[in-house]
Amino acid sequence: MRVVPDDGYRSARLVLIGEMPAQHEEAQGRPFVGPSGGVLAKWWRDVGLQRSDFYITNVVPYRHNKANKVESVPWDERQQYVEELHDRIAALDDPWLIVPTGNTALQALVGKTGITRHRGSIYAYRDRRGRIIKVIPTIHPAALFRTPYWEKRCIMDWRRIASDVTFRDLRLPEREHFIKPSISDLQDFYEDAKQRAKCLVFDIETPRKKLQMQEGVYKSGKRKGLPKIKTTLGDARITLVGFSFESHFSFTVDTTLEYWRDEQQLKEAWDVIRLLMALPVPKGGQNAYAFDVPWLLEPDYACPVTNFLWDSLCLNHTRDGRDDHAMHYQQSLYTREPYHKDEAKDPDEMSKWTSDLDQFRRYNGKDCCVALDLIDEHLSYLGERNRLQFY
């Protein structure tokens, strides 16, 4: 067993965290000098970075077994290495940006899992000296040998990293999400949109209704004889309609009776939503042409959308037909909004919507602002290249 020491100056602004040395690293006693290092070197050249810009470290400091599987390192030993990693970072002079590559490094540094979701996002890490350091995770270069089509997103991440290391702050979008409107707030928003909107983005949420069902009686146990209440899922329905026409502001309308408390108020809310959707201004949204527009046309809502023009999913398809089009992926490439899709999920049951309604409403507002940013970005990209005609 040979420990591979960290490489680079303690004064480096950039810190690269790998997983565990492989064969070449073990042989040469330096991190990232094998095939993974070769891939990184190529990307760094493309974006104007070089090896000497980095302090390079690994979570596990030696090659554990011939299979290069970090999972074979015992859990408590790995935990020990995570502790040491945080200590090593705290010993650095003044790092500005840390790049964890792959799941092991991401989890060790910030405790998040799912590198494909979190890559390209901008996070803050508080080190053991209390310093706040910017973090931009990316995919481990070795993953490219299995999944070559991820190269575009890796290069985009490294482009962001090269640019973000020139400043310390996170520069995240500052947005206000207005989530509990009264009817008069909604009317004011309508007047404002009528006067000022150049593109009105909207997004609906359609969670299934949670139903409490009585399900027979307990057959065993101390509480024998008590009715058992089971939560089950009923029909999907529109519970939120969000809007944005400025990147820094969203307006979300709850469309449930639970929110408005009486039928008349709910009807008035829908009347104003219909007026908003009937404005002549171009409308837009992410996947809204296939999803939101038909939902709104359902007889329960009877809310046609006038002049629906810009769909960020379709615009992204026009931009690069071979790429993925999910919003969280597009946002990681073209906006500075960190990954937020889990904010709508129940943390205990990730497949269900969160029961924290305010969080759900803010999530909806964020989606609207991000879709607007994406539409702006795609329109200028395609416009500059005379390619809007293909949309």
Least Å distance between CB 3 and ligand URA? 12
Q: Evaluate whether 135 touches 125 at the Cβ level (below 8 Å).
A: yes
Least Å distance between CB 164 and ligand URA? 22
Q: Which of 109, 133, 2 is nearest to 64 (CA)?
A: 2
Cα 150 to its chain centre, rounded Å, is 17
Least Å distance between CB 46 and ligand URA? 20
How many helices (H) does the chain have, and how many strands (E)?
A: 14, 13
Question: Which residue lies nearer to ligand URA by CB, 27 or 379?
Answer: 27
Question: Which residue lies nearer to ligand URA by CB, 32 or 245?
Answer: 32
Question: Which residue lies nearer to ligand URA by CB, 25 or 292?
Answer: 25
The CA-CA-CA angle for residues 61, 164, 365, to 5°, reads 105
Instruction: Write out the DSSP string of 193-244.
Output: HHHH-SSEEEEEE-PEEEEEEEEEE-SSSTTTTSEEEEEEEEEE---EEEEE
The CA-CA-CA angle for residues 10, 13, 16, to 5°, reads 80
Question: Which residue lies nearer to ligand URA by CB, 101 or 244?
Answer: 101
- Count CB neighbours of 155 within 10 A: 15
Q: Which residue is nearest to ligand URA (CB)?
A: 18
Least Å distance between CB 146 and ligand URA? 14
Least Å distance between CB 269 and ligand URA? 53
Residue ranges that bind ligand URA, judged by CB under 6 A:
18-22, 25, 31-32, 36, 58, 142
Owner of token pair 């494909």: 116
Least Å distance between CB 194 and ligand URA? 55
Q: Partners of 233 in the beta sheet?
A: 210
Least Å distance between CB 96 and ligand URA? 22
Q: Which of 297, 299, 287 is nearest to 324 (CA)?
A: 287
Tell me the angle at which helices 183-196 and 263-278 cross, rounded to the nearest 10 degrees. Answer: 0
Question: Which residue lies nearer to ligand URA by CB, 58 or 286?
Answer: 58
Question: Which residue lies nearer to ligand URA by CB, 19 or 376?
Answer: 19
Question: Which residue type does 214 have?
Answer: Q
Question: Which residue lies nearer to ligand URA by CB, 25 or 373?
Answer: 25
- CA–CA dist 325, 367 (Å, integer): 14
CA dist 217 → 211, 221, 223, 232, 233 (Å):
18, 11, 9, 17, 20
Question: Which residue lies nearer to ligand URA by CB, 58 or 316?
Answer: 58
Least Å distance between CB 206 and ligand URA? 42
